[in-house]
Amino acid sequence: MKDPALYLVHIAESIAKIERYTSNDPTTIGDGLVYDAVLRNLQTLSEAAQKLPEAIKLRHPEIPWQNIAGFRNVLVHDYLNGIDIVIIQRVIAREWPALKKQRCWPSCPRMCAEISKHKPISCMK
């Protein structure tokens, strides 16, 4: 099993990349390259969140872990049926701001501090 802090790094990096790719404008996802990049980073973020130890998730109920895991399953298993671009735009427009600002992003440094008590690690850039 990877060091849990690495999963937090993946989460933080994915959030930063999605921010950079969309510039907080979900309509930019209409571009094929942006769509692919956002989709890949949503998958990375949700996969990393799913692999975090349960103990960490239980200490951070402010993050909708089950929703993130469920979304990961859609991304990974429904890709052959085609993932509707409108759904991804809706996620970025409606769910993303709260997840980023109120839940996931502010919690990453706290979670890093919790799991890094016995060893130095910088989980946030």
From 40, 66, 48, select the one nearest 111 (Cα to Cα): 48
Q: Average pLDDT over the chain, rounded to whole?
A: 75
Which position among 10, 60, 72, 94 bears the catalytic label?
72
Which position among 40, 77, 94, 110 bears the catalytic label?
77
pTM across the whole model: 0.74
| 60 noted as active-site residue | no
What pLDDT score was predicted for residue 118? 43
Decide which of 38 and 120 is more confident. 38
| 72 noted as active-site residue | yes
C-alpha 119/C-alpha 69 separation (Å) is 28
Taking only the tens place, the pLDDT of each residue in 74-84 is 776 665 566 77
Confidence label for 15 from pLDDT (cuts 50, 70 and 90): confident
